[in-house]
């Protein structure tokens, strides 16, 4: 398997050099074809993701397919504008001239996806890469094996491998791919592997986008509407069983409303998942035994405020609330990435802000409040990838907003126009007139030339 993908990379490089992908009509054709083959294969994709996660068709549509379709449609309608030359002003010393920027595709690109939203995390970056006129190899995560197979089948049977191709495999295949030269690598996954990717890319001076993870805090202030906050937090935390990079990892709540918030969260878990969440078709399963074991070990029995039930044979972990948690607890030492929600109380907002700032920069941060002064303080003092106010996760569905991390949670961003930009080089051109050429910059340097230079250059 490894040997034959070298020829595909070569073929993509060769094809890119024919300049065909630079035509806007060509890019639109690929995107329309992608939309059409994905829609035609929805049943296959639903079946595969059910096998991997027991995820319902509803949730697959809501959290994966609809986002992909929306992104493709947006790109089809926007490429003409995005790919246009951008006219900019010219400075005085260069007059007469015109200045402009030409957006150009980077070349042959590699997208390495993660398992938790396997379609979205592999296909969305590929949509941006195609829209920007690149060729693309997608390497989905081997951990969601059925969805990886489905993507390989759907894409490889319907696309010219010189333009878009899926290469399946695990660490061995990814490591071999990373030895090759690409013009951009777009990686989604853990910070640990992000470092491996960046190191490998540096051998070829290949630029990278790294979409990583971390612990995303959720701050609930005294004045928050607790009913709405609980509704939205429960949805955001337990969708995909917490296996979401931007899920609220833990709650920091004002001590005065902690008990009320816990009661509201319990009520909402009941409302959304019923008295026995194991029977709910809305609760997906933990991806595998390794993650199940890791998550189970994070549940301290004496800290369970609600839930806590686990069933290894069913890879089931109940939506679980932990209280009386502190920052030294095991559950606070790593990104949880599962249906366990620790709740930490605070008396002073400054203390809460300091705790967050002592940890690596989060991918997301959520604030539940209508207190503008405190909200501005949080947004001003804490660095994080992006977030929402009085909501969680939903920020990433608005593709007018760039999506990405900062520091340990990643570099670069995508979605909508930002995705196009991630796969584009902006080539800047100064086009001079040949009508005349003042001799100021040429030797011999004279006092008069110096005076003129100072006037012109400021």
Rank residues 135 and 408 by Cβ distance to ligand NAD and give the closer one.
408
Q: What distance in Å separates the CA atoms of residue 31 and residue 386, rounded to the nearest whole number?
A: 28
Q: What distance in Å separates the CA atoms of residue 385 and residue 246, rounded to the nearest whole number?
A: 10
Q: Are 168 and 139 in contact (CB under 8 A)?
A: yes
| Stretch of 22-30, 182-190, 230-238, 429-437 lying at the interface with ligand NAD (CB under 6 A) | 182-190
Residue from 269, 272, 265 nearest 224 by CA: 265
Give me the least distance between CB of 400 and ligand NAD, in Å please.
Answer: 17
Residue from 278, 267, 337 nearest 313 by CA: 278
State the residue number with the nearest CB to ligand NAD.
213
Q: What distance in Å separates the CA atoms of residue 222 and residue 212, rounded to the nearest whole number?
A: 31
Q: Are 88 and 116 in contact (CB under 8 A)?
A: no
Return phi, psi of residue 123, to 5°.
Answer: -85, -35
User: What is the three-class DSSP state of 98?
Assistant: strand
Report the site for ligand NAD in 198-217 (rule: CB under 6 A).
211-213
Give me the least distance between CB of 171 and ligand NAD, in Å please.
Answer: 4
Could you tell me the two tokens for 111? 């997208």
H/E run at residue 358: helix 349-358
Give me the least distance between CB of 9 and ligand NAD, in Å please.
Answer: 16
Give me the least distance between CB of 197 and ligand NAD, in Å please.
Answer: 7
Report the site for ligand NAD in 386-415 (rule: CB under 6 A).
405, 410
Report the site for ligand NAD in 147-176 (rule: CB under 6 A).
170-171, 174-175
User: What is the three-class DSSP state of 243?
Assistant: coil
Given the residues 59, 71, 161, 211, the one annotated as active site: 211
Among residues 110, 356, 363, 378, which is the contact residue for ligand NAD, using CB under 6 A?
Answer: 363
Residue from 141, 137, 128 nearest 181 by CA: 137
Q: What distance in Å separates the CA atoms of residue 285 and residue 278, rounded to the nearest whole number?
A: 9
Asked if residue 367 binds ligand NAD (CB under 6 A), the reply is no
For the chain, the maximum distance between any two Cα atoms, rounded to a whole number of angstroms, is 88
Size of the site for ligand NAD (CB under 6 A): 28
Given the residues 161, 168, 245, 421, the one annotated as active site: 245
**Residues 92-121 as x/- pattern, contact with ligand NAD by CB under 6 A:** --------------------xxxxx----x
**Residues 240-279 as x/- pattern, contact with ligand NAD by CB under 6 A:** -----x----------------------------------
State yes or no: is 218 an active-site residue.
no
Omega prior to 63 cis, within 30 of 0 = no
| Stretch of 29-37, 127-135, 136-144, 271-279 lying at the interface with ligand NAD (CB under 6 A) | 136-144
Q: Are 247 and 340 in contact (CB under 8 A)?
A: no
Task: Provide the annotated active-site residues.
Answer: 211, 245
Q: Which residues bind ligand NAD (CB under 6 A)?
A: 112-116, 121, 139, 141-143, 170-171, 174-175, 188-190, 193, 196, 211-213, 245, 335, 337, 363, 405, 410
């Amino acid at each position: 398997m490894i040997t034959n993908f070298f020829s595909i990379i070569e073929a993509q490089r060769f094809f890119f050099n024919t300049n065909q992908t630079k035509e806007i009509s060509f890019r639109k054709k690929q995107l329309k074809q992608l939309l059409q083959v994905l829609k035609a294969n929805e049943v296959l994709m639903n079946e595969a993701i059910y096998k991997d996660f027991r995820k319902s068709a509803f949730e697959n549509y809501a959290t994966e397919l609809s986002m992909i379709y929306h992104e493709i449609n947006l790109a089809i309608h926007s490429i003409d504008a995005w790919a246009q030359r951008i006219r900019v002003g010219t400075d005085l010393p260069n007059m007469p001239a015109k200045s402009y920027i030409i957006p150009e595709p980077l070349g042959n690109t590699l997208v390495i996806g993660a398992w938790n939203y396997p379609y979205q995390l592999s296909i969305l970056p590929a949509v941006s890469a195609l829209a920007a006129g690149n060729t693309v190899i997608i390497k989905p995560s081997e951990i969601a094996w059925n969805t990886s197979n489905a993507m390989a089948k759907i894409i490889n049977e319907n696309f010219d491998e010189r333009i878009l191709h899926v290469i399946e495999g695990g660490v061995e295949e990814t490591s071999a791919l990373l030895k090759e030269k690409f013009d951009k690598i777009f990686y989604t996954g853990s910070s640990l592997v992000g470092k491996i990717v960046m190191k490998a890319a540096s051998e070829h001076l290949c630029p990278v986008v790294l979409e990583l993870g971390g612990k995303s805090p959720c701050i609930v202030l005294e004045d928050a509407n607790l009913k709405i906050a609980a509704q939205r937090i429960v949805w955001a935390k337990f969708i995909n069983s917490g296996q979401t990079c931007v899920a609220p990892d833990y709650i920091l709540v004002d001590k005065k409303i902690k008990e009320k918030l816990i009661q509201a969260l319990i009520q909402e878990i009941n409302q959304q998942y019923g008295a026995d969440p194991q029977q709910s078709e809305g609760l997906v399963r933990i991806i595998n035994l390794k993650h199940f074991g890791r998550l189970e070990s994070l549940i301290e029995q004496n800290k369970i405020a609600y839930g806590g039930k686990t069933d290894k044979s069913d890879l089931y972990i109940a939506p679980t609330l932990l209280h009386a948690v502190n920052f030294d607890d095991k559950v606070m030492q790593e990104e949880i990435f599962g249906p366990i929600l620790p709740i930490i109380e605070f008396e002073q907002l400054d203390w809460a802000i300091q705790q967050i700032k002592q940890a690596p920069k989060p991918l997301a941060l959520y604030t539940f409040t209508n207190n503008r002064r405190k909200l501005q303080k949080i947004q001003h003092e804490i660095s994080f990838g992006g977030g929402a106010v009085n909501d969680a996760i939903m920020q990433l569905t608005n593709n007018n907003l760039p999506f990405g991390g900062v520091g340990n949670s990643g570099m670069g961003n995508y979605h909508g126009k930002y995705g196009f930009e991630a796969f584009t080089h902006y080539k800047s051109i100064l086009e001079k007139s040949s009508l005349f050429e003042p001799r100021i910059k040429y030797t011999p340097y004279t006092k008069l030339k110096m005076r003129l230079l100072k006037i012109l250059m400021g």
